[in-house]
């Protein structure tokens, strides 16, 4: 069975930093592109970042560009999101996700809540 | 303001057929395939449709997807009470170099 388990969320003051992790199991992590998607309280889904299998291609949403950094360690089956200069508007549940493309393989974690507040 | 436009709400009675639209542009729906997700409160999104009209295994055939030009649609037939949820369309956008989501449609089963 496929599992994606996020961790690292919590309460952080504006301007602070946080590193999210996502541990993958049950599928061949190294052969799939991965994403971070967030959802602010009571709001819709917002894509945050994409990373290719070998980390050679990385994209960010404009709202986080220059502040967030995505990375992965295929040897550890793990995905990361380093979040710096956090703002109140970054408050959201953050999901790591393998999003379906050509095939119907689509996996999401349970999400980790990041709250940016003083 | 979402790049993909969905109606904020939709409703129907049990057994009815409901359609949810998703309007985009040439850089997203016009070029790339659309996924549809169902999200129940407090849970992660669940894939209903991928590649515009394909159903993953385990998704009932009451759910169907279609695409024409720069718009896509999700149809739910034989509406059931547990279909009450938020529904999102999503596609890759070549101009933004990122995935875009619709704003979501809250489906109410009356």
- pLDDT tens profile A50-59: 999 999 999 9
For the record, the structure tokens of A11 come out as: 């309460």
B103, closest residue in chain A (CA to CA) = A44
Dihedral of CA atoms B21, B86, A64, A104 in degrees, nearest 10, equals -80
Nearest-angstrom CA–CA distance, B54 and B50: 5
User: In chain B, what residues touch A106 (CB-CB under 8 Å)?
Assistant: 35, 47, 50, 56
State residue A104's pLDDT score: 85
DSSP character at residue A90? G
Using the predicted structure, report yes or no on whether residue A102 has a pLDDT greater than 90. Answer: no
Tell me if B90 and A95 make a contact (CB, 8 A cut-off): no
Q: What percent of chain B has pLDDT over 90?
A: 98
Which residue in A46, A47, A110 has the most chain B C-beta atoms within 10 A of its own C-beta, making it the best mutation to test that interface?
A47
Using the predicted structure, report yes or no on whether residue A97 has a pLDDT greater than 90. Answer: yes
Using the predicted structure, report yes or no on whether residue B87 has a pLDDT greater than 90. Answer: yes
């Amino acid at each position: 069975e496929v599992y994606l388990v996020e961790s690292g969320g919590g309460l952080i003051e504006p301007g602070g930093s946080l590193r999210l992790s996502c541990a993958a199991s049950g599928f061949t992590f190294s052969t799939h592109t991965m994403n971070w998607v967030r959802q602010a309280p009571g709001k819709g889904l917002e894509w945050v970042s994409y990373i290719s299998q070998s980390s050679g291609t990385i994209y960010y949403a404009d709202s986080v560009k220059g502040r967030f950094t995505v990375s992965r360690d295929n040897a550890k089956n793990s995905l990361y999101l380093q979040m710096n200069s956090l703002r109140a508007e970054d408050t959201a549940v953050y999901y790591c996700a393998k999003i379906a493309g050509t095939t119907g393989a689509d996996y999401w974690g349970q999400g980790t809540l990041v709250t940016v507040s003083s | 303001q979402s790049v993909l436009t969905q109606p904020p709400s939709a409703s129907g009675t049990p057994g009815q057929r409901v359609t949810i639209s998703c309007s985009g542009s040439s850089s997203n729906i016009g070029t790339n395939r659309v996924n549809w997700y169902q999200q129940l409160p407090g849970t992660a999104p669940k894939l209903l449709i991928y590649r515009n009209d394909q159903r993953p295994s385990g998704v009932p055939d009451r759910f169907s997807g279609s695409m024409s030009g720069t718009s896509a649609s999700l149809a739910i037939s034989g509406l059931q009470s547990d279909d009450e949820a938020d529904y999102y369309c999503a596609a890759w956008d070549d101009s933004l170099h990122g995935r875009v989501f619709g704003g979501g449609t809250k489906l109410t089963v009356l």
